[in-house]
Amino acid sequence: MEELSKLKPERGTLERKPVKNKLGYTYHYWYLRKWENGKLRSIYLGAKIPESLFQRIQDRNRARKLQRELKEVEGELCKITTAVRKIEDILSSL
């Protein structure tokens, strides 16, 4: 939970688009595609992804992984709690 609270995730997907110039040469530029106010936006990033944005995208992936792990741990905790209650019921009936 502590590690999850320190992350600063960024919503959206990085997309690399090819663009041709007048001479027919192809260049590639990065865009961040994300939903804002019900609309899909493409935000131009340039030829290189800014390091801060790249870190926030990695934070988002790490946050998703931590949330999955947390959900699994909560499920296991629920099973353990149920087992302990059953054992307590059995012991109290003796």
pLDDT tens figures, 48-67 = 888 878 778 888 888 888 88
Q: Which amino acid is at 93?
A: S
Burial of 19 from C-beta contacts in 10 A (0-12 / 13-18 / 19+):
exposed
Asked whether the predicted pLDDT for residue 78 surpasses 80, the reply is yes
Confidence of residue 4 (pLDDT cuts 50, 70, 90): low
**Model confidence pTM above 0.75:** no
Tokens of 71: 């959900």
What is the DSSP-derived secondary structure letter of residue 47? S
Answer with the residue of higher pLDDT: 61 or 76. 76
pLDDT of residue 53: 80
Residue ranges of alpha helices (H) inside the chain are 2-6, 51-93
Q: Tokens 């992936």 — which residue? A: 61
